[in-house]
């Protein structure tokens, strides 16, 4: 039986800012998810996106789980993340929303030779996140 990708997590320096970025990008993260019922900061936040669990974990939590862990360098890492939009116009709109909130759009939306409207944005921890939509409807 093949393995199924079930969980993807981001290690973050500032939970609230990171969740705001991904919420602005369009992920269904509830407002206030960075706080627990007592109003204290969460160290782990998780959502389900079409059967894939996506989580954000603070650096403090990761240090507790993995003794000896040190914060990774900022910027592009060894894993790529891409979010698919329904239409090319949604790629443009997502980038406009992020820019309006002060986030960096690393590569403005463009029509790529491989048939997608494509853009790259930068999350608060410096990781690149691609946003794309197919230029032609897929069967």
Per the structure block, which two tokens stand in for 6?
Answer: 């079930």
**For the segment 96-134, what is each residue's pLDDT rounded down to a tens digit?**
999 999 999 999 999 999 999 999 999 998 888 999 999
Task: Report if residue 72 sits inside a domain.
Answer: no
Pull the structure tokens for residue 138: 């897929």
Q: In a 3-state reduction of DSSP, which class is residue 45?
A: strand
Give residue-wise pLDDT tens across range 50-104: 999 999 999 999 889 888 888 776 666 667 789 999 999 999 999 999 999 999 9
| Residues spanned by the domain of 93 | 81-134
Cβ pair 129, 83 in contact under 8 A: yes
CATH number for the domain including 47? 3.10.180.10
3-class DSSP state of 27: coil
Q: Is residue 99 part of a domain?
A: yes
Half-sphere exposure (CA, 13 Å, Cβ side) for 137?
A: 1
- 85 shares a domain with 61: no
pTM across the whole model: 0.86
What spatial distance separates the first Cα and last Cα of the chain, rounded to whole Å? 27
């Amino acid at each position: 039986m093949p393995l199924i990708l079930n969980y993807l997590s981001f290690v973050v320096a500032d939970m609230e800012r990171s969740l705001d970025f991904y919420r602005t990008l369009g992920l269904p993260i509830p407002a206030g998810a960075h706080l627990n019922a007592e109003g204290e900061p969460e160290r782990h936040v998780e959502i389900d996106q079409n059967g894939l669990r996506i989580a954000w974990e603070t650096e403090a939590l990761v240090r507790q789980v993995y003794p000896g862990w040190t914060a990774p360098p900022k910027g592009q890492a060894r894993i790529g993340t891409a979010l698919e939009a329904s239409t090319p116009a949604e790629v443009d709109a997502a980038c406009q929303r992020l820019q309006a909130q002060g986030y960096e759009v690393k590569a403005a939306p463009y029509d790529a030779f491989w048939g997608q409207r494509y853009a790259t944005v930068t999350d608060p921890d410096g990781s690149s996140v691609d946003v794309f939509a197919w230029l032609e409807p897929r069967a």
